[in-house]
Amino acid sequence: MAVLILFTAFCSQTSYARPEYALQEKLNCAACHVTAWGGGPRTTYGKVYGSHENKISKMSESDLYYGDLRMIAYRPTHPSKTQSGFALMTAAPTANLPVYQGAANSEMRLVYTLNSSPLGGTYAREAYLSWQAQTAGADVPARLTLGRFYLPFGILTDEHRAYTRMQSRMPLENYEMGAALSANLSTDLHFDLALVNDLESGGTFSNRNVTWGGVLNFRANPSTLPFFIGLSGSYGHVLNTPEPYAISSHAGISLDRITGSKLSGSLLLERVDAWNQPQDRSGSIHPSLNTFFQLNSSPRGQHSVGYFSQAKFNMSNRWVLLYRFDYLKPDSQLPENTFARHGIGFEIFLPGNLIIDLRAEKAVVASKPAGPDGEEPLGAQNALLAMIRCWI
């Protein structure tokens, strides 16, 4: 049952973010996404650009709505010892409606997403008001977001199963209630500051303790250079337990710009250092982390290190070769708890808004963990997976 709960938590949703697009075209994330920091529902421009120059439906030519349907076929090494098969990950329509439109491109919009799927359940996902105020000399105006949203921490990609996300307790389905201020300090430098109830209430009231959480995110994407760099920090104030905090250092490199378009693709790199993250408020190891990996010894929660890297090579406008690498040491002082994962596969664009993702994954562990009743945790198994993604 524990493995089923974890499979639900980490396979039910994705972020829909493509930082490599911003890297190649030197765009601000808000050009393609409804949020100021990227990810989530797409704008009309994001729908067109995300199609890889393939034909998309005329129904996609609107900012007023977005729809996303995702299915997964998952086959681990030992399917008899864990969950596997074919499942519906996401069925999520989004409304992006103007509430007020003023002069100089200022406006307020209401954004609401309802996710309904067997893995994720039925609930409100994004639900917020976004106020945009035009600022002089900025390509993208300052924006205030108020409501329930996911946090602008680290590098945002389609890979919500990244070990760095589990490590920092920020899988991209962890939507919080609060406010975020986003703006451009210059044409090349963007920042986000978010203050929320805490880092794990999921948009409801904080339970018993007076808690709060915050994220500060900076991203520099120089228009004349073939890379971007970013730095994010998170902090959670929790009474009577160690306070969790984390730092993400990340970067992206455009192969198109480095090679003069002789090679088309991108490299993404991230390191996350986190403190006190594997513990819940009772002082025990965070249950989702332990369920996925079945740690051989209990982390003390002092310092963990995680890495994420991704390489994409555009073979054509329909075929993309990708490689991903994850690494996690939940406690830097316990080498027996070390996990790595290699993933290689293809993204295949049929029409522009129908994508098939095929991948083979190889897990590498320092010492093989074992779960209850002979179950082998997902974090220690090789796997084959196929995802079908359709968006409007």
Per-residue pLDDT of 78-132, as tens digits, reads 887 777 899 998 899 999 999 998 877 789 999 999 988 887 778 888 899 999 8
Q: Which residues of the chain have pLDDT under 70?
A: 1-26, 134-141, 171-174, 200-202, 207-210, 277-291, 294-301, 368-375
pLDDT at position 10, please?
Answer: 39
Q: Would you call 84 exposed, middle or buried from its count of C-beta atoms within 10 A (0-12, 13-18, 19+)?
A: buried
Instruction: Give pTM, 2 decimals.
Output: 0.86
Residues 6+ apart with CB under 8 A from 42: 16, 32, 33, 34, 50, 66, 391
**CA triplet 271, 348, 88: central angle to 5 degrees?**
80
pLDDT at position 140, please?
Answer: 54
Closest of 125, 115, 118 to residue 83, by C-alpha: 118
pLDDT at position 70, please?
Answer: 92
The 3-class secondary structure across the chain, one letter per residue, is: CHHHHHHHHHHCCCCCCCHHHHHHHCCCHHHCECCCCCCCCECHHHHHHCCCCCCCCHHHCCCCEEEEEEEEEEEECCHHHCCCEEEEEEEEEEEEEEEEECCCCCEEEEEEEEEEECCCEEEEEEEEEEEEECCCCCCCCEEEEEEEEECCCCCCCCCCCCHHHHHCCCCCCCEEEEEEEEEECCCCEEEEEEEECCCCCCCCCCCCCCCEEEEEEEEECCCCCCEEEEEEEEEEECCCCCCCEEEEEEEEEEHHHHHCCCCCEEEEEEEEEEECCCECCCCCECHHHHHHHCCCCCCCCCCEEEEEEEEEEECCCCEEEEEEEEEEECCCCCCCCCEEEEEEEEEEECCCCEEEEEEEEEEEECCCCCCHHHCCCHHHCCEEEEEEEEEC
Length of the chain measured in residues: 392
pLDDT at position 283, please?
Answer: 43
Q: Superfamily assignment of 2-391 in CATH?
A: Porin (2.40.160.10)
What residues does each domain of the chain span? 2-391
